[in-house]
Every structure is written in structure tokens, then in C-alpha cells.
């Protein structure tokens, strides 16, 4: 494959020229439908507004909201005028927002009004009390010296903040010629996006991604899904995460595919959209697919138009994958694996892969992507079939962490290999299975246990809807296993019954010593289960058992 040397804006313009009348995006909740020709024109206007309000090439624009239309338009508008989009986690509270805006040197914040009970305007005023008396566009914050302007995705008026239409009117300050000059001045190797990692250890780090990184990754992901202008992809995953804005919008735009968007995930709304919009693709993390499949009204929806999609974000339970293929009808659904630092996808299963490979592995490396598996202790490459740390090299590797050279050196070695921190094993056919994080591996009495293997076994129990397995300290063995179980509606199960189910079927040392039942797991806003929080709860509980 040839690496595309195009900017995000060039990709959108090219697709709009090829398929002007194909629907680019649909927001069924709001009755909004726009073609590629209209989408291209809208984002040209918005690019001029970003320029008119004073944003220079390379300037950092933070965006904080759920999957609103303004988020989507801002992604492509900044891609046309060279602003760097800094994506903000929707779950952030005041301290996290302050940290991100300060560390990223954001000069501009575009935000929604609220998310799941959190009033974003109130949170912002807590961080920037100067807003109350600030002139719009001339904020002077003691905590955030770079922040100059705030734009709200609404027509409600707030002190110091531009309404959306006030912001959009700045387009009139710029000519088409000025936009073209800016558009043509961009280099595909320019950083276009800074995404902050979840921060499960220490403070979140800003991953710098270029046009080349995200355009090519999105295109390859779409190729693996066999997307065309006839496809309609439902995107319920957050846009602030790579899953939403690369595997979602860029995979779609590079193939003139229609995006069917939902502002906030709701399993019933997703099923309704798939049915009403005749979606051929559906994205989700495993917990989303589990919620859809287990919705009490699931059987009343027609998902027969589904063909493809991606399950990613965390390890995909084999039983769930089978149901998505057999019950939902997404016969060509693929598994993708990667990390934000690799734009994000490193490996992916293809539509042609046998079901066994699609449910038990994360596929093979993408074209133009190198992968090796090393012994974390020695750095030496391991033999096929031996677990080790997965490393990758190629166009997909980030530019680095923003203003954090030390962390960049720890992640990318001198030879350009990005170290994932994940344990992986390659089979005799070249397919890769990811068995967990290096730090998640449990060592019980000298035996290495990969929680994923135990989870996959426990998923097969008919009463189990979801399961997470972690290690807790143990005086005798060093570590023991604890299983956190979510039961299916109406099902009952005791810890002893679950252990009895395991006996004689998996090795004795892999049977969890502790079993806890729960209704939900601690999650990130992008749908990843926060195992470190589960581990904290487990350590506390196991000490009392």
C-alpha cells in the first residue's frame, strides 16, 4: 500500500468531489441530514470562522462535548485551517480540565453545555473565575495564561463566552482566498490532533498525531471493513477518542460512507438507528454490544442490514463476538487492536478470516506496519508461540507526547519501535492474540496467569453476562485471582457454584479464589473498564474476606 500524503481537509474535499450527493452524516435525533457536498461547504465556512476569530496554524483548540454535530464539523474545519484539535474526555471534572488546558497550551475551548448531569459551564467557571467579567475573546486567566477564547455549542448566552452563531459569523472576516492559502500551507506531517491518554498511571499524556497518522489509519480500517459510498456506519462511540474520530469518522470519510451519529450511547437508540437508517456497519466496545444484545426489547428491532463494524477498545469476549455475528447479522464484523499512540490501529481481522481467528485473535498487522514481540526483560524478540510485549513501527507511530520528552523516550526506542505495554502471542499463521497488559499479568506461586484466558472460560457459563478477573495480594502465593461477575437478568449464581463449574475444566491455579458479584464496572468515558480501580476495590475486599 502507498501511504497517502494528504491532509484531513484534502481527503474530505476529494470525497466530496467524487460523491457530492451521497449523505455524509445523519443525526436521526435531530432530523439532520447532510451530503458530502454540503459537509465540505459547512466545514469550509467553519474553517474560515476559526481563522476569523484569530486562530493561527498550529494553535491548540480544545473540544469538550459529547458527539454533537459541532464536534464533527470542528474536526474537519480545523483539519482545513491547521488548528490542532485537543480532545477532552467527556467525564472530566474541574481539576482534570484545568490540567489538560494548561498542559496542552490550548488558546481556545469549544464546549457543550453539559454531559450526564455535569454542567460544563459551571466547571469552566470554577477553573476560570475571570470569565464572569471577561470580554469575549480576551480572557486573562491566572491559571491558564494561554486561554483566550471560549465558544459554546449553543445559542444560550454566558459571560465571556461566544455563542455558536457569534463564532460562526467570524467566517465573514475571511475570504475564500485566505482559506486556500492556509489550506495549501499545511504539511501532511503536521500535528493535527492531541489526544490525552486515559491516565490509568500518573497524569494523562498528550499524544501528538499527524494528518498522515490518522488519515492512513482511518483509510486502512475502512478498507478492512470493505466500506464504500453505499455503506452507512453507526458511530455510538465517543468522538473524543481515537475509536470515534479515526475508526469512525475518518474510516467513513476516506470511503464516502455515510456516518449515522448518536450524541450519547444508549442501547435502545442504537438499535433504533440501525433499523431506521438501515445501517450496514456498527462500532462499539464490548460493553456496548453486550448492552444492545441484552436490551429487553432487542428482539423487536431489525438489524438484518448489518454487515460489518468494529469491536475494539478492550478485549472482546468470544461469546459476545459470536452473538454479534449470528444474532445481529454482522457477519463481517472485525476486531481491531491498537493504542492511541499508534493512531490507533496496529492489527485487525479481515472479513475473510475464519470465525475462529476473528473471535480468538486481533488479526494480523496492517499493511506498512511492522510488529515484533519481545521479552520485556531482555528486549530480545521471542519465538512464535511465546508471549511477550508487542512493539510496532511505521507511519502509525505518534510524533510523541506533547511537552514530555522523557515519556516519549520511554515509549519509543532509538530504533523507532513503539512499546505497547501489552502482552501478545503470534500463532503459526501469523495471527496475534493480545492476552493482557504486562502489569495485569498475575503471578501465583511462580505461575504466570493471564486474566483474559480465565475471563474467556467464565464467559461460557450461561448465567454470566460479563466478567473481569484481576490479581490481589496473597501471603502464601504472592497473588490470587478475584473474579468480578455481572449476571444476566433473572439469573442467580453463588461463588461456590462458579468455582464448582471451573473444577476439572481449567487448571486449579486458574480458578478464582475470590468471586464478587456486581451490577457495573468502573469505566472510562470511552467505555474501557478501569481495571486499576477494580484492583483497588479487590485489594480492600480480599483483605476482609
> Is 36:258 a contact under the CB 8 Å cutoff?
no
Q: What is the pLDDT of residue 61?
A: 98
Nearest to 545 by CA among 483, 466, 463: 483
3-state secondary structure of 351: coil
pLDDT of residue 78: 98
DSSP-based three-state secondary structure for 465: strand
Residues 6+ apart with CB under 8 A from 256: 15, 18, 19, 22, 36, 228, 229
Q: Categorize the per-residue pLDDT at 544 as very low, low, confident or very high, splitting at 50, 70 and 90.
A: low
User: In sequence order, which residues have a C-beta less than 8 Å from that of residue 418 and are 6 or more positions away?
Assistant: 341, 342, 391, 392, 393, 397, 398, 411, 412
Residue 158 reports pLDDT greater than 90: yes
Q: Is pLDDT above 70 for 538?
A: yes
Q: What is the pLDDT of residue 104?
A: 98
Computed from CA positions of residues 194, 347, 303, 486, in that sequence, does the dihedral angle turn out positive or negative? negative
Which is it for the CA torsion 379, 385, 387, 391, positive or negative? positive
- Span 344-371, pLDDT tens digits: 999 999 999 998 898 889 999 999 999 9
Output the pLDDT for position 202. Answer: 60
Nearest to 539 by CA among 461, 479, 450, 458: 479
* Per-residue pLDDT at 92 exceeds 90: no
Average per-residue pLDDT in the chain? 94
- Give the pLDDT confidence score for residue 477 in this predicted structure: 84
Buried b (16+ CB within 10 A) or exposed e, 318-336: bebbebbbeebebebbbbb
Domain boundaries, the chain: 38-196, 441-542
130 versus 318: the higher-pLDDT residue is 130
Q: What is the pLDDT of residues 405-441, one digit of tens each?
A: 999 999 999 999 999 999 999 999 999 999 877 878 7
Q: Where on the phi/psi map is residue 466: left (φ > 0), alpha (ψ -120 to 50), or beta? A: beta
Domain spanning 38-196, CATH architecture: 3-Layer(aba) Sandwich (3.40)
Tell me whether residue 37 is exposed, middle or buried, using C-beta atoms within 10 angstroms of its C-beta: 0 to 12, 13 to 18, 19 or more.
Answer: middle
Q: Can you give the pLDDT at residue 199?
A: 52
Q: Is residue 341's pLDDT more than 90? A: yes
Convert the pLDDT of each residue in 102-125 to its tens digit.
Answer: 999 999 999 999 999 999 999 999
Which three three-digit cell numbers place residue 28? Answer: 436521526
pLDDT, tens digit, 9 for 90 and up, residues 302-331: 999 999 999 987 777 888 899 999 999 999
Q: How far apart are CA 537 and CA 545, in angstroms?
A: 12
| 447-483 pLDDT per residue, tens | 778 788 889 889 999 999 999 999 998 888 888 999 9
User: Is residue 243 over pLDDT 70?
Assistant: yes
Q: Does the pLDDT of residue 200 top 50, yes or no? A: no
Task: List pLDDT tens digits, range 259-276.
Answer: 999 999 999 999 999 999
Q: What is the pLDDT of residue 543?
A: 74
Q: How many degrees, rounded to 5, is the angle at CA 374 between CA 369 and CA 375?
A: 165
Q: Which CATH architecture has domain 441-542?
A: 2-Layer Sandwich (3.30)
**pLDDT on residue 376:** 85
DSSP 477-506: TEEEEEEEEEEPTT----HHHHHHHHTTTS
How confident is residue 198, by pLDDT bands cut at 50, 70 and 90? low
Amino acid at each position: 500500500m502507498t501511504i497517502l500524503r494528504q491532509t484531513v481537509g484534502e481527503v474530505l474535499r476529494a470525497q466530496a468531489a467524487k460523491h457530492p450527493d451521497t449523505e455524509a452524516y445523519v443525526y436521526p435525533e435531530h432530523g439532520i441530514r447532510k451530503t458530502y457536498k454540503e459537509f465540505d461547504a459547512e466545514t469550509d465556512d467553519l474553517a474560515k470562522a476559526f481563522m476569523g476569530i484569530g486562530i493561527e496554524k498550529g494553535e491548540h483548540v480544545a473540544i469538550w462535548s459529547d458527539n454533537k454535530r459541532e464536534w464533527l464539523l470542528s474536526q474537519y474545519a480545523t483539519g482545513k485551517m491547521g488548528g490542532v484539535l485537543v480532545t477532552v474526555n467527556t467525564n472530566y471534572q474541574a481539576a482534570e480540565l484545568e490540567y489538560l488546558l494548561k498542559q496542552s497550551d490550548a488558546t481556545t475551548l469549544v464546549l457543550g453545555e453539559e454531559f450526564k448531569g455535569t454542567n460544563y459551564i459551571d466547571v469552566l467557571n470554577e477553573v476560570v473565575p475571570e470569565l464572569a467579567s471577561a470580554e469575549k475573546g480576551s480572557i486573562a486567566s491566572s491559571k491558564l495564561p494561554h486561554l483566550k477564547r471560549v465558544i459554546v455549542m449553543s445559542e444560550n448566552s454566558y459571560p465571556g463566552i461566544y455563542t455558536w452563531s457569534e463564532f460562526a459569523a467570524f467566517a465573514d472576516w475571511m475570504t475564500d482566498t485566505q482559506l486556500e492559502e492556509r489550506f495549501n500551507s499545511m504539511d501532511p506531517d503536521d500535528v493535527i490532533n492531541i489526544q490525552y491518554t486515559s491516565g490509568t498511571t500518573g497524569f494523562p499524556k498528550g499524544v501528538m498525531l499527524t494528518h498522515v497518522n490518522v488519515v492512513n489509519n482511518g483509510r486502512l480500517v475502512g478498507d478492512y471493513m470493505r466500506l464504500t459510498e453505499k455503506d452507512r456506519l453507526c458511530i455510538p462511540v465517543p468522538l473524543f477518542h481515537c475509536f470515534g474520530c479515526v475508526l469512525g469518522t475518518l474510516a467513513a470519510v476516506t470511503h464516502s460512507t455515510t456516518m449515522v451519529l448518536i450524541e450519547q450511547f444508549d442501547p435502545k437508540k442504537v438499535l433504533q438507528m440501525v433499523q431506521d437508517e438501515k445501517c450496514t456497519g456498527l462500532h462499539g466496545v464490548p460493553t456496548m454490544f453486550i448492552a444492545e444484545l441484552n436490551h429487553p426489547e432487542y428482539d423487536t428491532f431489525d438489524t438484518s442490514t448489518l454487515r460489518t463494524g468494529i469491536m475494539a477498545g478492550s478485549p472482546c469476549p468470544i461469546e459476545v463476538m459470536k452473538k454479534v455475528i449470528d444474532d445481529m447479522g454482522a457477519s463481517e464484523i472485525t476486531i481491531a487492536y491498537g493504542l492511541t499512540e499508534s493512531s490507533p490501529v496496529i492489527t485487525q481481522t479481515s472479513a475473510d478470516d475464519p470465525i475462529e481467528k476473528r473471535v480468538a485473535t486481533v488479526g494480523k498487522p496492517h499493511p506498512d506496519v511492522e510488529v515484533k514481540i519481545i521479552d520485556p526483560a531482555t528486549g530480545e524478540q521471542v519465538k512464535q508461540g511465546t508471549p511477550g510485549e508487542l512493539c510496532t513501527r511505521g507511519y502509525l507511530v505518534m510524533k510523541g507526547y506533547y511537552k514530555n520528552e522523557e515519556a516519549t523516550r520511554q515509549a519509543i526506542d532509538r530504533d523507532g519501535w513503539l512499546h505497547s505495554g501489552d502482552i501478545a502471542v503470534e500463532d503459526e499463521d501469523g495471527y496475534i492474540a493480545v492476552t493482557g497488559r504486562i502489569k495485569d499479568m498475575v503471578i501465583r506461586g511462580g505461575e504466570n496467569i493471564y486474566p483474559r484466558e480465565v475471563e474467556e472460560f467464565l464467559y461460557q457459563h450461561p448465567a454470566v453476562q460479563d466478567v473481569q478477573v484481576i490479581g490481589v495480594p496473597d501471603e502464601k502465593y504472592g497473588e490470587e485471582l478475584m473474579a468480578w461477575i455481572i449476571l444476566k437478568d433473572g439469573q442467580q449464581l453463588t461463588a461456590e457454584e462458579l468455582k464448582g463449574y471451573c473444577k476439572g475444566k481449567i487448571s486449579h491455579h486458574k480458578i478464582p479464589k475470590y468471586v464478587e458479584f456486581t451490577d457495573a464496572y468502573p469505566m472510562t468515558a470511552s467505555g474501557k473498564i478501569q481495571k486499576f480501580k477494580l484492583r483497588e476495590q479487590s485489594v480492600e475486599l480480599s483483605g476482609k474476606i
